[in-house]
Structure formats: structure tokens, C-alpha cells
Amino acid sequence: AQSVTQPDIHITVSEGASLELRCNYSYGATPYLFWYVQSPGQGLQLLLKYFSGDTLVQGIKGFEAEFKRSQSSFNLRKPSVHWSDAAEYFCAVALNTGFQKLVFGTGTRLLVSP
């Protein structure tokens, strides 16, 4: 069965510093890949997605992610973090079917220090 690993439970970054959140997946083929963000008490908002093609994908709020097939990774990056980026971030994969059964990682909580 496919699985998603987010090795960092918490990450603290200074405001203005760069950010990289790690995501590794286990799946026999290339799945569809997603990053979602969840602010406290809120639902999940899609940051970006990868289906195929260019391995560097751009998302909302200045985020980007790079798909590396050889490493089974889909890491999320942002060059300069803002205090409003403090939230929980989830990586997810979906099978290549006509609908989506998402498998989520356990999440990484981002804290932004002044």
C-alpha cells in the first residue's frame, strides 16, 4: 500500500529565512502529489499539485515543490517565510484513478520566529 512520510513533526524558521519541508512517498508508480496547508481551526487549503511534466511546480503564497522520482520525494520550499505561514503542512498522494483517495503524511507544524 502506498504511504507518505513527513519526517519532521515540527520545524521552526526565522521570519525571512528559507524553508524546506520534506515529503517522501512509497508507491509503485508515479502518483499524483499534493501539498495542503491547515491553519489552526481551519480546513485544508491546496498549496500546489503535481500530476506530470515539469518537476518543479509553483503554488500559491510563494510556495514551490520539486518532484524527484529517483528519491521518491516531493519537498516543499519557500525562499522567504512570513509569520502568516505558521501552520501545519500536509503532503498527500493519490492513485491515478478517476477519483482521489488521498493518502496523507502525518504533517509538519511550522513555527515562525520573529
The binding site for another protein (CB under 8 A) comprises 4, 9, 32, 34, 36, 42-46, 49, 51, 90, 92, 96-107
CB 40, min distance to another protein, A: 11
Q: For another protein, give the closer residue by CB, 49 or 77.
A: 49
CB 25, min distance to another protein, A: 13
Reading phi first (left if > 0) and then psi (alpha if -120 to 50, else beta), residue 72 is in left
Q: For another protein, give the closer residue by CB, 2 or 15.
A: 2
What three-state secondary structure class fits 93?
strand
What three-state secondary structure class fits 108?
strand
CB 16, min distance to another protein, A: 29
Decide the pairing of beta strands 56-58 and 24-26: unpaired
Q: For another protein, give the closer residue by CB, 74 or 90.
A: 90
Within 13 Å and on the Cβ side, how many CA atoms surround 92? Answer: 19
CB 114, min distance to another protein, A: 27
Sequence letter at residue 105: G
